[in-house]
Chains A and B, each alone.
Chain A
Amino acid sequence: MSLASLLDRAATGGRLTYDEGVRLYLEAPLNELGAAAHYRRLQMHPGNDVTYVIDTTINYTNICNVHCTFCAFFRHEGSKEGYTMSHDEVLEHVRFAAEQGATQIMIQGGVNPELRLEWFTQLFREVAAQFPKVDIHSLSVSEILGLAKVEGKSVEEILIALKESGMKSLPGAGAEILVDRVRKRISARKVGPEGWVDVMRKAQRLGMPTTATMMFGSVETKEERIEHLDVIRRLQDENPGGFTAFIPWYYVPYNTYLRGEEASGYEYLRVLAISRLYLDNLAHLQASWLTPGLKMGQIALFYGCDDMGGTILEEQVVKLAGATNQAKRADLERAIRDAGFNPVIRDTYWNVRGDVALATATA
């Protein structure tokens, strides 16, 4: 099949085999690959909307026993730079975010074996009680497995306990590249591909929406990126709708052991485009803009993305933060409009949140 007809097929929703995916990813010119992904995105989401969610990430601890080589955040147990927040501190962060209009919080940290299941369930109950409008989209596969280990319980038991305490959905962090060879190199102490998929499958069966991520640009080959997409697509076939969105982000090599180069803009867009075409069964593709910058985040809207992810509210300078966050959202909305789309605020479940005002007036 010629490259052009393969592109046409993918653009109109035809399923790509692994080999076809690799071929398109390696061979299709950027303009053509982008055009096909954009066409597919317009077909899947015919309105002219681009969604985003007002959210924040609360990194409750940086103590971690997983020691991934690509990570600049973690500290060993006993490190002078290690920290763990108290429940009150976490709640203070949630309060700040809620005041800024956040509808979602991501509570994520290292895998700190000192923290037991009860620490989380109590915290989530407290958050849910005090901030009923905020969805708890929290933890990750590694943290779930860490809890199962320290509690000596099954993954299901942990997930059920967390769900009952108010954690409604599970982010797809920690997927990196779901290929054995790669994980051994960059996250040797993390669970293998099947282990990751297994936790996600169990969460999905319990009715918890999940997202899927990919961290590319560390040590994997281009073919292994497609293998990763294939793993995600297979689980989505098994549990349709289980993943709400796919979020590729690239490895940031500064201050990590692994080092390396940051992915280029060209490569970022190619990954987005092939993800859009390959994941024919997954509704949303998210652009990240905090890492590659708003310019690239905006351009990503033409390479298959229909969502700009979260705003990750900042509170470093508490007095100014309100203004800063408002300006950040205004810039984001301006970029979406400038690209020819309408900014729309959504929540964790992709419901449009008309009750939360845009930062800028509709033109």
Chain B
Amino acid sequence: MTAFLDPTLRAIEAKLDEGIPLSLDDGLTLFRTPDLHGLGRLATKEKRKKSGDRVFYVHNRYMNTTNVCYAGCTFCSFAVGERSEHKVRMTKEQILEKAVETGVNFNQIHIVGGHDPKQLSLDFWVPLMQEFKKRLPHAQLSFFTAAEIDYMARRHRLSSEETVKALADAGLDNINGGGAEVFSPRFRAIVCPGKVDAACWLEIHEHLHRHGVSSNATMLYGTIETLEERVEHLIALRESQERAPGYNAFIPLAFHPDGNQLDSCGWTTGVQDLRMFAVARLMLNNFDHIKAYWMIQGLKVCQLALHFGADDMDGTHGESDEERIYHSAGTKSGQYVDAKVFRALIEEAGYEPVRRNTSYDEFAYDWEPPAEYPVDTKGRRIEGEPAPQWWGNGSYPVGKALEAARATLSQKPRALRSGRISYTNDLPVYTAFDRNEVVYPGRLASTVPAELNRKLLAGELDLSPVSSFFYAQHHEELVLLPDICIGARTQVLSVVLLSDVPPALLSGRPIHVTKESASGRALLELLLRRRYGVEPTFVEHDDPLRSFLNEEVPALVIGDRAIDAREEARASDVYDLGTLWNEWTGEEMVYAVWAARREAVEGRRNDVAACVDALRKSLAWGLTHKDDVIAAAEQQKPRGPGFYQVYYDTLTFNFDERAQRGLARFYDELGEAGMLDAVPFVKPEDLRVSR
């Protein structure tokens, strides 16, 4: 299908190949062609001329520092007046604190706000910009729109050039592309009569470019503008770029209808969005980048836009950012996109993801600001405190969610009930709590593993360590928690088979087991069946170790008795199941995982996350304070010099990739052996992602 369905596109392709700028008529042809794929193909070709296989994104923070605005634009759901109860005006300190709330690993700070007489002035911003430059020199400042600069110029009775110069001197790196709307005077008279006119908008950008400040450009499409007005807007930008180069990217902004006077215009359609990206790419031959901003058209359409001319997915925003302009107008997009998501979507679409900053300098994906760098992070949120809530003008579509959130905040929820194992094996995880080095944000009750399993299933606990086999049997009711587990690379010491003959010769011999050893029994059964081809016969017995020592009946022994067995039985009769597993599969074995009840994760996700966070911190403490952990263990169950040193070195507690792989193998083998109805996936819940 190399030919165009619409033959008029051929003439346009010829012009593009020769580098001739497209005309108004060409733009209209492109907007109207039924050959959407032809359009996409042309745009992709032009995109490749500019950026090859690369698609950009930036780690950034996004802030709306005030929503007080008297510009009176009809398409806006964000602006409120001074007396509104929804007014949000951040102080300088709040802005600085908010910026570093989730760390400092970003390359851009993006700030836009309203025309707020109490905030939008050089007196407010110049010192703040200097402070930002001092504290976070690696973050480029992408502040204001031309409309805001025009407002500042007028209030200070300065020329726009003087204003621009003051901001450039204070360290402004870039200004945002907003406020352009559609340049047509007809459009502006109807839609945004209080806003800077087109000539003035373009003049401010051109002044900025001449003073070394770059900028972006936008167009608000999908209201009352005609297609001619759209194309004329693009041509005006192209001419401005000729006069004073400095625009980095063009960003098409789709109109969002909720809660403003133009709501009857409705949402833009997906096809309109794709056409807009493509036509912008084709008309703006002197713009390097076309941006598909996930918050505007949604991640799905924005990924497609990469095949319709776009080469940039804009910024991650910070995890605690709260964009409010588009969210006031009903966008369904979230507030934050992890860079990993960008990278995955870009790679899936066949391109190479490139992390950038505002001026399109390139960074390694895992780049971090230097560690010795004096960064003030004291503005970090106190745990347990709700984030400051700023909302739009009451039309914000999460009214009910907000009510619900308030209701939850008003009633103090009970502490989550958590289990812990009463043995010594998990002391590296729990000693820090016992020593009050780390505070656990829930209640801890300790008991034997079988009891933990039962209580979690019965709903008497919200989360607990459980045996990995038990989790597999009940994975439909439970959620696998991340980061911690109890496993062993090879030998485990506390789960052993005692036998006077090698395991392969156990066919037909009864094996003594205790009631509590269901999980160990599963591992032994699996090994015997799959590794040795032996069908085992288990017989319950109160003290299998004793019966082995007295009568040589093969026995499965777990826990402290297993450790005793090493001292009491002949070394050649002790088979460590961890070692048998590792010899067979080459994998680590995971004996216990932490799991939570599904409704706890669904209803109290943040609380569960806080518990896991505390467990992680506590484990980190335990691993760096081995002597304290060993002392605690000796106190609980004295074992003599050196034992716990070796014991804790054999155990692993990080539920890392290797452990997950070992566990997945265990489950696969159980499935193959017919010991599980359904084979669970080993995919720990990502508690940072809200559902």
Contact = CB atoms under 8 A, between A and B. Distances in A.
A74 to B, nearest CB: 10
A39 B1 contact: yes
Contacts of B683: 259-260
Interface in B654-691: 677-681, 683, 685, 691
B269 A338 contact: yes
A8 B349 contact: no
Interface stretch (B187-195, B300-308, B377-385, B420-428): B300-308
12 contacts: A30-B40, A31-B307, A35-B5, A35-B37, A184-B679, A219-B681, A266-B349, A268-B300, A269-B304, A331-B266, A334-B269, A340-B34
A265 interface: yes
A294 B269 contact: yes
Interface of B: 1-2, 5, 34, 36-38, 40-41, 44, 266-267, 269-274, 297-301, 303-304, 307, 332, 345, 348-350, 475-476, 602, 677-681, 683, 685, 691
B1 A296 contact: no
A331 B266 CA distance: 9
A236 to B, nearest CB: 24
Nearest to B305: A265
A38 B4 CA distance: 12
B271 A4 contact: no
A7 B41 CA distance: 15
B269 A31 contact: no
Contacts of A258: 681
A18 B300 CA distance: 29
B230 to A, nearest CB: 15
A268 B349 CA distance: 12
A258 B274 CA distance: 33
What range describes how many residues of A lie at the interface?
A: 35 or more
A362 interface: no
Contact of A11 (B1, B300, B307): B1
Contacts of A255: 602, 691
Contacts of A119: none
A339 B269 CA distance: 9
Contacts of A8: 1-2
B270 A295 contact: yes
Main secondary structure of the interface of A (DSSP, over half): helix
A29 B350 contact: yes
A241 interface: no
B271 A298 contact: yes
A293 B332 CA distance: 11
A318 to B, nearest CB: 19
Which of A35, A36, A334 has most chain B Cβ within 10 Å?
A35
B303 A264 contact: yes
B269 A292 contact: no
Given A11-B1, A259-B681, A294-B270, 9 more contacts: A31-B37, A38-B5, A38-B36, A259-B683, A265-B301, A295-B300, A334-B269, A338-B269, A340-B34
Interface of A: 4, 7-8, 11, 29-32, 34-36, 38-39, 67, 69, 184-185, 188-189, 219, 254-255, 257-260, 264-269, 292-299, 302, 331, 334-335, 338-340
B10 to A, nearest CB: 15
A266 B345 contact: yes
B677 A188 contact: yes
A338 B299 CA distance: 21
Nearest to A186: B678
B347 to A, nearest CB: 11
Contacts of B303: 264-266
B681 A299 contact: no
A4 B37 CA distance: 15
A264 B307 contact: no
A296 B300 contact: yes
B349 A339 contact: no
A226 to B, nearest CB: 18
Contact of A295 (B41, B301, B345, B348): B301
A4 B2 contact: yes
B269 A335 contact: yes
Contact of A298 (B44, B270, B679, B680): B270
Contacts of A11: 1
A255 B304 CA distance: 27
Contacts of B2: 4, 8
B261 to A, nearest CB: 19
